[in-house]
Amino acid sequence: MTDGGDAAQTARHRGLIALVGGAEWQEGATFDTELLERAGSGEVLVLPTAAAYENPDRAVDVAKRWFAGLGASARGLMVLSHGDANDPANAASVQQARFVYLSGGSPLHLLSVLKGSLVFDALSAAWHDGAVVAGSSAGAMVLVDPMIDPRGGAFTVGLGLVRDLAVIPHHDSGAAHHLWRTLALAPSGIPVAGVPERTALIGEPDGTWRSAGAGEVSVYLDGEQVGLEALPH
């Protein structure tokens, strides 16, 4: 569970990561309370990038209401285009944040906006400095590498904050209909995590993983269902 460099040093400094299966900021997403505590901050920085064409302001409003109910605040950072992602002010906001949350929406748009950008570099730097990073649905798909292409279930290159892991969100719904094709196409030795809605696959700084929230994460390796211990450390 590293994006390169000295693995031992990376493990000592990186923060918590939560890969959420979708339906973020709803009842059952009990892990958000813990994420706030681990971040040590009462503010969540929300990037509605994946929802750029699906009313990103509404996504931020949902987050604001949800986190207000948890005694915290949320604010949106409107990184909606690649130009926005290369704005130094936006990158500075991300790097200074202690809890960054990527909303659901279009994984392909999210990937195109963040790939090779100052904002993604800042997100990686913040995480390696101990910040909490969460991504739901599209956010979860894109933060890992390889990434599952939503157009047919094959694999492409993700952002790689976490390497050697692929994520199928909405694993408890019909949206996971590409599962068997995806498992057949998965590279040998690469685990695929099926994450239900309102559920998080949580990666600890020491490289261990656990499931939290309304459902249970399923892990597949070389076509067989296995335990969480198969996930990358």
Name the average pLDDT for the chain. Answer: 92
With beta carbons less than 8 A apart as the criterion, state whether 162 and 180 touch: no
Measured distance CA(125)–CA(159) in Å, rounded:
14
17-21, 74-78, 154-158, 169-173: which has the minimum mean pLDDT? Answer: 169-173
Number of helices (H), then strands (E), belonging to the chain: the values are 9, 15
Using alpha carbons, list the distances in angstroms from residue 164 to 2, 4, 95, 101, 114. 9, 11, 25, 22, 19
Using alpha carbons, list the distances in angstroms from residue 129 to 110, 120, 133, 139. 23, 14, 11, 20
Residue partners of 31: CB distance under 8 A and separation at least 6: 18, 200, 202, 212, 213
Measured distance CA(115)–CA(158) in Å, rounded:
8
| pTM of this structure | 0.92
Share of the chain above pLDDT 90, in %: 85
Q: pLDDT tens digit string along 151-176?
A: 888 899 999 999 999 999 999 876 55
Overall average pLDDT of the 66-83 stretch: 98
Cis ω for the linkage preceding 146 (within 30 of 0): yes
Q: pLDDT tens digit string along 108-139?
A: 999 999 999 999 999 999 999 999 999 999 99
- pLDDT, residue 176, reads 52
Between 109 and 223, the higher pLDDT residue = 109
Among the listed residues 184, 62, 174, the one whose alpha carbon sits nearest the alpha carbon of residue 166: 184
Between 8 and 33, the higher pLDDT residue = 33
Domains and CATH numbers, the chain: 7-230 (3.40.50.880)
- pLDDT, residue 150, reads 87
Q: pLDDT tens digit string along 49-63?
A: 999 999 999 999 999
